[in-house]
Amino acid sequence: MDTYVELLKSRRAMGFARRDFLAKRTTSSQVFDAEQELKDLGPLRAQLSMFGSTAVQALDDLALTGFTVWMKAVSD
């Protein structure tokens, strides 16, 4: 359960960053700490691979891909 809680907190932060950026037109760095998220991503993904279902892992892969594409589009 702890893994899912951390996963949800992280992905909600990503969603908040997107909504905030779109609403306020601020830079992504003002609403999302990408450096910290990357530090947390490795351990969280390891926990997910050990304790998460394959369905949740697949959904998280899609979420991360979508967020990465969005961040690239924002930076371009």
* Predicted model pTM: 0.70
Q: What is the mean pLDDT of residues 52-67?
A: 91
H/E element, 26: none
pLDDT tens, position by position, 10-59: 888 888 878 888 888 766 555 566 677 667 788 888 999 999 999 999 99
What pLDDT shows up at residue 27? 60
Alpha helix stretches (DSSP H) within 1-76:
2-24, 28-31, 34-51, 54-75
What pLDDT shows up at residue 53? 93
Cα separation, 26 vs 56, whole angstroms: 31
Tell which residue, 20, 23, 9, 2, has the closest CA to residue 60. Answer: 9
